[in-house]
Amino acid sequence: MVRIGLDMMGGDFAPLEAVKGAAAYLKNNGSNVHVFMIGDEVLINSHLKNYVFPQGSYTIVPTTEVIEMHEHPTKAFKEKQDSSIAVGFNLLATDKIDAFISAGNTGAMMVGALFSIKVIEGISRPTIGAYIPREDGTLGLLLDVGLNADCKPENLNQFAILGSLFAENILNISNPKVSLVNIGEEEGKGNLLAQAAFPLLKENSQINFIGNIEGRDILINKSDVMVCEGFTGNVVLKLAESVYDIVKRRHINDEHFNRFNFEAYGGVPVLGVSKPVIIGHGISEETAFMNMIDIAFRMKKTDFTGKIKESFSSLLA
């Protein structure tokens, strides 16, 4: 039984969409997953009564505080000890749950991830990626998408390993192709960071590095794991998100562009911390919550963080 903590107070539609997502997921997987619903008990119950759950598939963990979206992450996390986010991390740190999911304050989630459950030894900077829908129906992974705006070459090399492990274990892509987002195809192209990162990636025996890709290659399936610093990654992700908005505004109904609805995917886990933590988009709805629970379940089943530890311990040895 995988025990998944779900912050019911996070996101723009809390707790309704989290309730709906949990109900939809547990309907078919209630025998494998137990959801700990963390939040305002009265509020949660007022929604729960409208949905059907398998017997004993959830537990409510009552909390009295909420970290709002606009609050200062560190300050709020420290001061609101009975907030759903702080309680969630406390349960995770003390092994009461196996994974923690929230669509709430991203900064507070990062504070919790970095300070309550720690970074895996050997990893300098945890990272967050984003799924990139590709024309053949599969998903690629772009990382970092904003957590690390300034990076060193070694950070990119570590993101490559983390992303590769995620693609292999969670996205089920065998021997995933890893690339460096750059402004030219040949080795030696790029800014100073990309130029310095290329040889590290090339020599990295833990990944299947295929070289540089350019902006035009991001939306096709040239590579499964696309590595860049968080500045470029964030601009690219938000640009791609806006393509979906434009497509909808212009009443274009296309199967591929419909998949640019990034919110539907839910969050990508914080890669590099010692336990599964997933941060969702503030406007996550039912499907996003359902997907996040599923990813958390698969991270636990595949002992994903254990695999990361193994990879990085071999580098430390």
Of the residues 62, 72, 231, 298, which one makes contact with a second copy according to CB under 8 A: 231
235 vs 283, beta carbon nearer a second copy: 235
Is 235 among the residues that bind a second copy (CB under 8 A)? yes
User: In Å, how far are 43, 83, 181, 198, 226 from 142, measured between CA atoms?
Assistant: 36, 31, 9, 17, 5
Shortest distance in whole angstroms from residue 228 CB to a second copy: 8
135 binds a second copy (CB under 8 A): yes
Judge contact between 282 and 103, C-beta under 8 A: yes
Residue whose C-alpha is closest to residue 215's, from 178, 183, 262? 183
Shortest Å distance, C-beta 300 to a second copy: 31
Q: Which stretch binds a second copy (CB under 8 A): 41-49, 111-119, 226-234, 268-276?
A: 226-234
Q: Are 293 and 101 in contact (CB under 8 A)?
A: yes
Residues in contact with 126: Cβ distance below 8 Å, sequence separation at least 6, in sequence order: 113, 114, 119, 147, 270, 271, 272, 273
By C-beta, is 189 or 301 nearer to a second copy?
Answer: 189
Given candidates 35, 76, 143, 181, which one binds a second copy under the rule CB under 8 A? 181
> Between 83 and 232, whose beta carbon lies closer to a second copy?
232
CB of 241 to a second copy, least distance (A): 6
216 CB neighbour count, 10 Å cutoff = 8
Classified as helix, coil or strand, 270 is strand
Per-residue DSSP letter, 269: B
Per-residue tokens: 116: 């309550």
Long-range contacts formed by 72-77: CB under 8 A, 24+ apart? 72/107, 73/105, 73/106, 73/107, 73/108, 73/110, 73/111, 74/107, 74/111, 76/105, 76/108, 77/108, 77/111, 77/112, 77/115
Smaller CB separation from a second copy, 90 or 106? 106
Integer CA distances (angstroms), 289 to 51, 75, 168, 265, 284, in order:
15, 27, 22, 9, 7
Single residue of 220, 306, 313, 314 touching a second copy by CB under 8 A: 220
Q: Is 136 in the site for a second copy (CB under 8 A)?
A: no
Q: Is 251 exposed, middle or buried (0-12, 13-18, 19+ CB in 10 A)?
A: exposed
> Least distance (Å) from a second copy to the CB of residue 153?
14
Q: Is 283 in the site for a second copy (CB under 8 A)?
A: no
Give the separation between CA 141 and CA 161, rounded to whole angstroms.
12
Task: State the number of binding residues for a second copy (CB under 8 A).
Answer: 40
Is the CB of 1 or the CB of 239 nearer to a second copy? Answer: 239
Binding mask of the shown chain, residues 240 to 269, with x at each position contacting a second copy by CB under 8 A: xxxx-xx--xx-x-x-xx------------
Among 185, 238, 310, 314, binds a second copy (CB under 8 A): 238
Q: Which one of the spans 55-63, 230-238, 278-286, 306-314 is the region binding a second copy (CB under 8 A)?
A: 230-238
Please state the closest distance from residue 198 (CB atom) to a second copy, in A.
13
- The residue among 115 and 231 lying less far from a second copy, judged by its C-beta, is 231
Contacts with a second copy in 38-97 (CB under 8 A)? Answer: none
- Cα 293 to Cα 29: distance, rounded to the nearest angstrom: 10
Interacting residue ranges for a second copy, rule: CB under 8 A: 135, 146, 149-150, 181, 183, 190-192, 194, 214-220, 228-232, 234-243, 245-246, 249-250, 252, 254, 256-257
